[in-house]
Amino acid sequence: MAATPEFQHTLAKSAGFSGTSLHTGEKVSLKLHPAPADHGIKFKRKDLTDEPTIDAKIENLKMVERATTIGEGSIRVHTVEHVLSALSAMGVDNAIVEMDANEPPIGDGSAKSYVEVIKRAGVTAQETPRKFFHVREPMHVETKTGAMLILLPDDNGFRISCTQAGPNNRFTQFMSTDVAPEIFEREIAPARTFVFYEDVEPLMAKNLIKGGSLENAIVVRGDAVLSKEPLRFPDEFVRHKILDIIGDLALIGCRIRGHLIAVKPGHAANAELARAIAKERSRRESLAIPRVVPKGNGGLDSDEIIQILPHRYPFLMVDRIISFDEGGTKCIGVKSVTINEPFFQGHFPGHPVMPGVMQVEAMAQVASLLLFKLAKTSSRIGYFMSADGVKFRKPVLPGDTIFIHAELTKARGERLAKAKCHCVVNDAIVSEGELMFTFLDK
Ligand SMILES: [Zn+2]
């Protein structure tokens, strides 16, 4: 049986703040709104007619010079990496980032203001499991500018080990950290944007960074560090590089399970790695075969099931048991739902939905089979007595395959037992409940 799934999260409510945009220097207000499961992060241009949205996806990447720009059609959003970094690291999978300009307020050049907004809004769990990219084999990208990113397998979480080095290897710094909300908020989010004077001088001359000032960036000139307030960390630069990596890699639209080794990273290299991950994900998807449902060995086929359960068509609600766990307290059954199910005729004509009570019945039958296996006797059968905390989360439709999970949570004497059950379709929980049984002679 799979481990407890980690669920997607969104914001508990809307929240926002205003500030200056980096490139135009104009006032902009930003609002973060909750969004449904599987929505991902989308930017909304409130200042344009029809308020178009842009998916924060690597396919929409337009520019990686100095900052990350995404766009769809002729619509652009600039400097998305800091707000994306905060959303991703603080555990927000689904949200709308609404703005009345073409870039978010730059704040103090760090991700601090975004973290504050996210915390004010609150983060809440949804009912759909999170999507992950598990690194299976090392991946790597290298750019002409000397950036090198190596992604290694690590199933414990997402970890970044980063080395930052400025021109002539000035300000070489190293940091290795897990990407997790508390660590991000404390160690990464406050790290500000930094620039080397020689890189920004031409931009200032061309008036391309009107909103840029020592209020929102640290400027390094020779060995001197110029900033409004002193460095927040002795190694603030490498921390900001990690902040940018998290934001740029958020464009893959799922969470990474792996360890990233980054040497002199930048937006171009980060984006290239994000593209490589997206390509690998679609390669894996194209190879994915339908879920194989094993027969026999450790499970029960339909013949074995009808020798145990007294239920018959149309009330037999489990086709096969695919596994019993080693301790014998959990099992998974399968039910293929076809349009030929008699209940679809009346539930409802023209709009077939599997009745929730039939799912509860399916959970009860799978739990009975589990109890039977534990009791190792065919003379008695567990009868379904009551159900607690039953929830129907999503409709089950003709063509769906339901994976019915049952786990024995309590067995009192020889007469009573409780089982926690849930039904899964396409990796989403469609119904759940806690069922109580009593044992009677057949
Ligand atoms: Zn940055």
Would you name the residues annotated as active-site residues? Answer: 267, 347
Lowest mean pLDDT among 93-107, 136-150, 230-244, 316-330: 316-330
C-alpha 254 to ligand 1 mean position (Å): 21
The answer on pLDDT for 340 being more than 70 is yes
Maximum pairwise Cα distance, the chain? 90
C-alpha 250 to ligand 1 mean position (Å): 14
Confidence of residue 3 (pLDDT cuts 50, 70, 90): very low
Q: How far is CA 295 from the centre of its chain?
A: 33
R_g of the chain computed on alpha carbons: 27
Confidence of residue 288 (pLDDT cuts 50, 70, 90): low
Confidence of residue 248 (pLDDT cuts 50, 70, 90): very high
| pLDDT over 90, % of the chain | 63
What is the pLDDT at residue 379?
Answer: 65
> In this predicted model, what pLDDT tens digit does every residue of 155-168 receive, in sequence order?
889 999 999 998 88
In sequence order, what are the residues at sequence separation of 6 or more whose Cβ sits closer than 8 angstroms to the Cβ of residue 261? 148, 149, 150, 151, 152, 161, 162
**Most confident stretch, 33-37, 136-140, 143-147, 219-223:** 33-37
- pTM, two decimals, is 0.67
C-alpha distances in Å from residue 298, one per residue of 282, 317, 324: 33, 20, 6
C-alpha 111 to ligand 1 mean position (Å): 9
What is the pLDDT at residue 311?
Answer: 87
Q: Which two tokens stand for residue 269?
A: 């290299």
C-alpha 249 to ligand 1 mean position (Å): 13
C-alpha to C-alpha distance for 29 and 263, rounded to whole angstroms? 35
Nearest to 193 by CA among 230, 236, 160, 223: 236
What is the pLDDT at residue 241?
Answer: 98
Q: How much is the average pLDDT of 136-140?
A: 93
Structure-model confidence comparison of residues 48 and 201, the more confident one: 48
C-alpha to C-alpha distance for 105 and 198, rounded to whole angstroms? 25
> In this predicted model, what pLDDT tens digit does every residue of 256-269 receive, in sequence order?
999 999 999 999 99
- DSSP bridge partners of 402: 335
The answer on pLDDT for 421 being more than 80 is yes
C-alpha 127 to ligand 1 mean position (Å): 32
C-alpha 50 to ligand 1 mean position (Å): 30
Asked if 130 and 7 count as a contact pair (C-beta separation under 8 A), the reply is yes
C-alpha 139 to ligand 1 mean position (Å): 24
C-alpha 381 to ligand 1 mean position (Å): 63
Structure-model confidence comparison of residues 316 and 22, the more confident one: 316
> In this predicted model, what pLDDT tens digit does every residue of 214-227 receive, in sequence order?
778 899 988 888 88
Nearest to 228 by CA among 267, 184, 194: 194
- The size of the chain, in residues, is 442
What is the pLDDT at residue 1?
Answer: 36
In sequence order, what are the residues at sequence separation of 6 or more whose Cβ sits closer than 8 angstroms to the Cβ of residue 92? 9, 10, 11, 41, 118, 123
C-alpha 207 to ligand 1 mean position (Å): 20
The answer on pLDDT for 442 being more than 80 is no
Q: How far is CA 430 from the centre of its chain?
A: 19
C-alpha 68 to ligand 1 mean position (Å): 9
Asked if 118 and 58 count as a contact pair (C-beta separation under 8 A), the reply is no
What is the pLDDT at residue 5?
Answer: 65
Convert the chain into a string of H (helix), E (strand) and C (coil): CCCCCCEEEEECCCEEEEEECCCCCCEEEEEEEECCCCCCEEEEECCCCCCCEEECCHHHEEECCCCCEEEECCEEECCCHHHHHHHHHCCCCEEEEEECCCCCCCCCCCCHHHHHHHHHHCEEEEEEECCEEECCCCEEEECCCCCEEEEEECCCCEEEEEEECCHHHCCCEEEEEECCHHHHHHHHCCCCCEEEHHHHHHHHHCCCCCCCCCCCCEEEECCEEECCCCCCCCCHHHHHHHHHHHHHHHHHCCEEEEEEEEECCCHHHHHHHHHHHHHHHHHHHHHCCCCCCCCCCCCECHHHHHHHCCCCCCCCCCCEEEEECCCCCEEEEEEECCCCCHHHHCCCCCCCCCCHHHHHHHHHHHHHHHHHHHHCCCCEEEEEEEEEEEEECCCCCCCCEEEEEEEEEEEECCCEEEEEEEEEECCEEEEEEEEEEEEEEC
What is the pLDDT at residue 2?
Answer: 41
Q: How much is the average pLDDT of 202-216?
A: 73
C-alpha 279 to ligand 1 mean position (Å): 25
C-alpha 216 to ligand 1 mean position (Å): 11
Confidence of residue 290 (pLDDT cuts 50, 70, 90): very low
What is the pLDDT at residue 316?
Answer: 93
